[in-house]
Amino acid sequence: MSATVVAASGGEPVGTEPRAPASKRDLWIVFWIFPTFFGLFGVIFVLLARVIPPPRPDVTTDQKVQWFASHATTIQIGFAAVCVVFGGAAIANGYVAYQMKRMTSGPTFAYAYMGAMAVGTLPGLLLVALCFSAATFRPDREPRISAMLYDLGMLSFNGSLGCFATGYLAFAIAILYDKNQIFPKWLAYVSIWQIVTEVIATQMWVSSAGPYAWNGSIAFWLAVIVFGFWLNCQGIFLKFATDRQPAGSRPAD
Protein backbone atom coordinates (compact mmCIF):
# COMPACT_ATOMS: atom_id res chain seq x y z
CA MET A 1 0.00 0.00 0.00
CA SER A 2 2.68 2.47 0.96
CA ALA A 3 4.41 1.83 -2.36
CA THR A 4 1.33 3.03 -4.23
CA VAL A 5 1.16 6.20 -2.18
CA VAL A 6 4.80 6.89 -2.92
CA ALA A 7 4.35 6.38 -6.65
CA ALA A 8 1.42 8.79 -6.65
CA SER A 9 3.38 11.58 -4.98
CA GLY A 10 6.33 11.13 -7.32
CA GLY A 11 9.02 10.29 -4.83
CA GLU A 12 10.06 7.93 -2.14
CA PRO A 13 10.45 8.77 1.53
CA VAL A 14 14.00 9.07 2.76
CA GLY A 15 15.44 6.31 5.06
CA THR A 16 14.08 5.50 8.48
CA GLU A 17 16.80 6.62 10.87
CA PRO A 18 16.07 9.60 13.16
CA ARG A 19 16.85 12.98 11.67
CA ALA A 20 15.92 16.65 11.65
CA PRO A 21 12.37 17.49 10.49
CA ALA A 22 11.98 17.42 6.71
CA SER A 23 12.44 20.76 4.97
CA LYS A 24 12.22 21.84 1.35
CA ARG A 25 14.77 24.60 1.68
CA ASP A 26 17.27 22.75 -0.55
CA LEU A 27 14.66 22.49 -3.34
CA TRP A 28 13.76 26.16 -3.09
CA ILE A 29 17.40 27.32 -3.17
CA VAL A 30 17.98 25.38 -6.36
CA PHE A 31 14.65 26.44 -7.83
CA TRP A 32 15.44 30.16 -7.41
CA ILE A 33 18.72 29.72 -9.28
CA PHE A 34 16.59 29.00 -12.40
CA PRO A 35 14.93 32.46 -12.75
CA THR A 36 18.02 34.22 -11.39
CA PHE A 37 20.29 32.65 -13.98
CA PHE A 38 17.98 33.17 -16.95
CA GLY A 39 17.33 36.75 -15.85
CA LEU A 40 21.06 37.44 -15.75
CA PHE A 41 21.48 35.58 -19.03
CA GLY A 42 18.94 37.89 -20.70
CA VAL A 43 20.52 41.06 -19.32
CA ILE A 44 24.05 39.99 -20.24
CA PHE A 45 23.27 38.76 -23.76
CA VAL A 46 20.95 41.62 -24.72
CA LEU A 47 22.44 44.67 -23.01
CA LEU A 48 26.12 43.82 -22.70
CA ALA A 49 27.32 41.12 -25.07
CA ARG A 50 25.15 42.42 -27.95
CA VAL A 51 24.45 39.00 -29.47
CA ILE A 52 20.66 39.45 -29.00
CA PRO A 53 19.45 41.07 -31.24
CA PRO A 54 22.14 39.47 -33.40
CA PRO A 55 24.60 41.56 -35.41
CA ARG A 56 24.15 41.14 -39.16
CA PRO A 57 25.66 38.25 -41.12
CA ASP A 58 25.63 40.20 -44.42
CA VAL A 59 28.44 42.68 -43.66
CA THR A 60 32.01 43.08 -44.87
CA THR A 61 35.15 42.17 -42.94
CA ASP A 62 35.78 45.82 -42.12
CA GLN A 63 32.24 46.29 -40.83
CA LYS A 64 32.64 43.26 -38.55
CA VAL A 65 35.87 44.68 -37.14
CA GLN A 66 34.13 48.03 -36.74
CA TRP A 67 31.24 46.35 -34.90
CA PHE A 68 33.65 44.72 -32.44
CA ALA A 69 35.41 48.05 -31.93
CA SER A 70 32.25 50.01 -31.21
CA HIS A 71 30.89 47.48 -28.67
CA ALA A 72 34.20 46.25 -27.22
CA THR A 73 33.68 47.43 -23.64
CA THR A 74 30.23 45.99 -23.12
CA ILE A 75 31.17 42.75 -24.92
CA GLN A 76 34.12 42.36 -22.58
CA ILE A 77 32.13 43.07 -19.41
CA GLY A 78 29.33 40.81 -20.62
CA PHE A 79 31.43 37.79 -21.40
CA ALA A 80 33.58 38.08 -18.27
CA ALA A 81 30.27 38.01 -16.36
CA VAL A 82 29.18 34.97 -18.40
CA CYS A 83 32.34 33.18 -17.25
CA VAL A 84 31.25 33.64 -13.63
CA VAL A 85 27.54 32.82 -13.88
CA PHE A 86 27.16 30.29 -16.69
CA GLY A 87 27.26 27.43 -14.18
CA GLY A 88 23.71 28.56 -13.38
CA ALA A 89 22.70 26.89 -16.65
CA ALA A 90 23.98 23.55 -15.33
CA ILE A 91 22.06 24.00 -12.07
CA ALA A 92 18.84 25.05 -13.84
CA ASN A 93 19.04 22.12 -16.27
CA GLY A 94 20.04 19.76 -13.46
CA TYR A 95 16.95 20.81 -11.52
CA VAL A 96 14.66 20.19 -14.52
CA ALA A 97 16.23 16.73 -14.88
CA TYR A 98 15.70 16.17 -11.14
CA GLN A 99 11.99 16.99 -11.40
CA MET A 100 11.78 14.78 -14.52
CA LYS A 101 13.06 11.92 -12.35
CA ARG A 102 9.93 12.28 -10.20
CA MET A 103 7.80 11.40 -13.24
CA THR A 104 6.42 7.91 -13.74
CA SER A 105 8.13 7.76 -17.15
CA GLY A 106 11.39 6.25 -15.85
CA PRO A 107 14.77 7.94 -15.57
CA THR A 108 15.91 7.49 -19.21
CA PHE A 109 14.78 10.83 -20.59
CA ALA A 110 15.69 12.71 -17.41
CA TYR A 111 19.28 11.57 -17.97
CA ALA A 112 19.00 12.31 -21.71
CA TYR A 113 17.84 15.86 -20.91
CA MET A 114 20.66 16.43 -18.45
CA GLY A 115 23.27 15.02 -20.84
CA ALA A 116 22.08 16.90 -23.92
CA MET A 117 21.89 20.23 -22.10
CA ALA A 118 25.28 19.73 -20.38
CA VAL A 119 26.87 19.13 -23.79
CA GLY A 120 25.01 22.07 -25.35
CA THR A 121 26.54 24.57 -22.93
CA LEU A 122 29.91 24.43 -24.67
CA PRO A 123 28.92 25.08 -28.32
CA GLY A 124 25.73 27.00 -27.53
CA LEU A 125 26.96 29.36 -24.81
CA LEU A 126 30.67 29.30 -24.14
CA LEU A 127 32.09 29.29 -27.66
CA VAL A 128 30.57 32.68 -28.53
CA ALA A 129 31.99 34.09 -25.28
CA LEU A 130 35.39 32.76 -26.25
CA CYS A 131 35.28 34.00 -29.86
CA PHE A 132 33.99 37.50 -29.09
CA SER A 133 36.39 37.88 -26.16
CA ALA A 134 39.32 36.80 -28.35
CA ALA A 135 38.26 39.33 -31.02
CA THR A 136 37.91 42.26 -28.59
CA PHE A 137 41.01 41.25 -26.60
CA ARG A 138 43.26 42.41 -29.46
CA PRO A 139 41.66 45.27 -31.44
CA ASP A 140 44.69 45.25 -33.76
CA ARG A 141 44.25 41.59 -34.70
CA GLU A 142 44.40 40.75 -38.40
CA PRO A 143 40.87 41.74 -39.70
CA ARG A 144 40.34 38.43 -41.52
CA ILE A 145 40.80 36.59 -38.21
CA SER A 146 38.42 38.86 -36.29
CA ALA A 147 35.84 38.40 -39.04
CA MET A 148 36.15 34.63 -38.75
CA LEU A 149 35.68 34.87 -34.95
CA TYR A 150 32.50 36.91 -35.63
CA ASP A 151 31.04 34.14 -37.79
CA LEU A 152 32.26 31.35 -35.52
CA GLY A 153 30.76 33.07 -32.47
CA MET A 154 27.36 33.85 -34.01
CA LEU A 155 26.91 30.51 -35.76
CA SER A 156 27.89 28.50 -32.69
CA PHE A 157 25.52 30.55 -30.52
CA ASN A 158 22.51 30.56 -32.86
CA GLY A 159 23.35 27.50 -34.92
CA SER A 160 23.91 24.90 -32.18
CA LEU A 161 20.74 22.98 -32.83
CA GLY A 162 21.05 19.29 -32.07
CA CYS A 163 21.99 19.42 -28.39
CA PHE A 164 18.92 21.48 -27.61
CA ALA A 165 16.62 19.61 -29.99
CA THR A 166 17.63 16.39 -28.19
CA GLY A 167 16.95 17.99 -24.81
CA TYR A 168 13.51 19.25 -25.95
CA LEU A 169 12.65 15.84 -27.41
CA ALA A 170 13.60 14.10 -24.15
CA PHE A 171 11.55 16.66 -22.19
CA ALA A 172 8.49 16.21 -24.44
CA ILE A 173 8.52 12.41 -24.42
CA ALA A 174 9.00 12.22 -20.65
CA ILE A 175 6.02 14.56 -20.08
CA LEU A 176 3.79 12.60 -22.45
CA TYR A 177 4.47 9.30 -20.64
CA ASP A 178 4.24 10.81 -17.14
CA LYS A 179 1.22 10.14 -14.92
CA ASN A 180 2.42 12.24 -11.96
CA GLN A 181 1.64 15.48 -13.83
CA ILE A 182 4.96 17.07 -12.89
CA PHE A 183 4.59 19.24 -16.03
CA PRO A 184 1.35 19.77 -18.02
CA LYS A 185 0.87 17.78 -21.23
CA TRP A 186 0.58 20.90 -23.39
CA LEU A 187 4.13 21.90 -22.43
CA ALA A 188 5.27 18.76 -24.27
CA TYR A 189 3.66 20.11 -27.44
CA VAL A 190 5.35 23.49 -26.96
CA SER A 191 8.64 21.58 -26.65
CA ILE A 192 7.92 19.92 -29.97
CA TRP A 193 7.48 23.38 -31.51
CA GLN A 194 10.88 24.18 -30.05
CA ILE A 195 12.29 21.28 -32.08
CA VAL A 196 10.53 22.63 -35.19
CA THR A 197 12.23 26.02 -34.70
CA GLU A 198 15.59 24.27 -34.39
CA VAL A 199 14.94 22.45 -37.67
CA ILE A 200 13.97 25.71 -39.40
CA ALA A 201 17.11 27.33 -37.97
CA THR A 202 19.25 24.89 -40.00
CA GLN A 203 18.72 27.39 -42.84
CA MET A 204 20.98 29.96 -41.16
CA TRP A 205 23.91 27.75 -42.18
CA VAL A 206 23.20 28.37 -45.87
CA SER A 207 21.51 31.77 -45.82
CA SER A 208 23.44 34.95 -45.07
CA ALA A 209 20.58 37.44 -45.44
CA GLY A 210 16.79 37.52 -45.21
CA PRO A 211 14.28 35.74 -42.94
CA TYR A 212 16.31 32.52 -42.70
CA ALA A 213 19.65 34.16 -41.82
CA TRP A 214 20.98 34.04 -38.24
CA ASN A 215 19.29 37.41 -37.56
CA GLY A 216 16.22 36.65 -39.67
CA SER A 217 12.55 37.02 -38.74
CA ILE A 218 11.92 33.26 -39.02
CA ALA A 219 15.21 31.53 -38.23
CA PHE A 220 15.92 33.82 -35.25
CA TRP A 221 12.94 35.91 -34.05
CA LEU A 222 10.27 33.23 -34.34
CA ALA A 223 12.57 30.82 -32.51
CA VAL A 224 13.27 33.37 -29.77
CA ILE A 225 9.55 34.01 -29.20
CA VAL A 226 8.80 30.29 -28.91
CA PHE A 227 11.86 29.80 -26.69
CA GLY A 228 10.89 32.69 -24.40
CA PHE A 229 7.36 31.35 -24.00
CA TRP A 230 8.60 27.79 -23.41
CA LEU A 231 11.27 28.86 -20.90
CA ASN A 232 8.82 30.95 -18.87
CA CYS A 233 6.33 28.06 -18.78
CA GLN A 234 9.10 25.67 -17.77
CA GLY A 235 10.08 27.99 -14.91
CA ILE A 236 6.49 28.50 -13.73
CA PHE A 237 5.69 24.79 -13.75
CA LEU A 238 9.02 24.03 -12.11
CA LYS A 239 7.75 26.20 -9.26
CA PHE A 240 4.45 24.29 -9.10
CA ALA A 241 6.33 20.98 -9.14
CA THR A 242 8.49 22.22 -6.25
CA ASP A 243 5.34 23.29 -4.38
CA ARG A 244 3.80 19.86 -4.75
CA GLN A 245 6.86 17.76 -3.95
CA PRO A 246 6.38 16.36 -0.42
CA ALA A 247 9.00 17.52 2.08
CA GLY A 248 11.57 14.85 2.83
CA SER A 249 10.97 12.92 -0.40
CA ARG A 250 13.37 12.15 -3.21
CA PRO A 251 13.03 10.58 -6.66
CA ALA A 252 13.45 6.82 -7.00
CA ASP A 253 16.90 5.68 -8.18
CB 68 within 8 A of CB 139: yes
Task: Between 20 and 206, name the residue whose CB sits nearer to another protein.
Answer: 20
- Torsion of Cα atoms, 219 then 223 then 224 then 227, to 10°: -160
Determine the Cα–Cα distance for residues 201 and 54; give it in Å rounded to an integer. Answer: 14
Task: Between 134 and 192, name the residue whose CB sits nearer to another protein.
Answer: 134
CB of 142 to another protein, least distance (A): 5
Residues that bind another protein (CB under 8 A): 11, 14-15, 17-20, 22, 24-27, 29-30, 76-77, 79-91, 93-95, 97-98, 101, 114-115, 117-119, 121-122, 126, 129-130, 133-134, 137-138, 141-142, 145, 245, 248-251
Task: Between 162 and 210, name the residue whose CB sits nearer to another protein.
Answer: 162
CB of 12 to another protein, least distance (A): 11
Task: Between 2 and 17, name the residue whose CB sits nearer to another protein.
Answer: 17
Task: Between 193 and 240, name the residue whose CB sits nearer to another protein.
Answer: 240
CB of 200 to another protein, least distance (A): 27
CB of 157 to another protein, least distance (A): 15
CB of 206 to another protein, least distance (A): 26
